[in-house]
Amino acid sequence: MPKNINFWLCNAEMVGEQRNCLIKAFHHLIVGGCVELQVSVRFFTSLREIIGKKEETLSFRKGENATIGLALKKLSKQHGKRFVDYVFDRSTGDVRGFLQFLVNGRSASVMGGLGARLADGDVLAIIPPVGGG
């Protein structure tokens, strides 16, 4: 394969439809073909305010060990300091004990905690403490 794919795909020798077909095929392989699974993440109360939405979808690439821990790392990169400060204890780096994680309505604590594996289509809910009386 040529080192410069853009040059190869945009080569003047290729005609319209043929070129477009190859571009679509490479896009599928390079972008779409690498996604192994998608997980919906739901946010509640304070965390919803920090994130600014109630749900988002995380994509995991082939070869990634999709776990709750990795999902939290991805969310930390996407949402920055406010998310990190809310979810992680600054002194230990551990996830704060008051947070609960549910995968498809099932407590992650009985599924391996932060190491619980996520599958395509799973729904991960991050539940902050709820008080009331």
User: What's the average model confidence in pLDDT over 71-76?
Assistant: 97
Residues 6+ apart with CB under 8 A from 47: 83, 86, 87, 126, 128
User: What's the average model confidence in pLDDT over 38-64?
Assistant: 94
Q: What are the sequence ranges of the domains in the chain?
A: 1-30, 35-127
The length of the chain is 133
Q: Which CATH superfamily is domain 35-127 in?
A: Beta-grasp domain (3.10.20.30)
Q: Are 123 and 103 in contact (CB under 8 A)?
A: yes
User: What's the average model confidence in pLDDT over 30-38?
Assistant: 68
Residues 6+ apart with CB under 8 A from 83: 47, 50, 51, 75, 76
pLDDT in tens, 86-133: 999 999 999 999 999 999 999 999 999 999 999 999 999 999 987 765
What percentage of the chain has pLDDT greater than the value 90? 66
Reply yes or no on whether the pLDDT at 71 is more than 50: yes
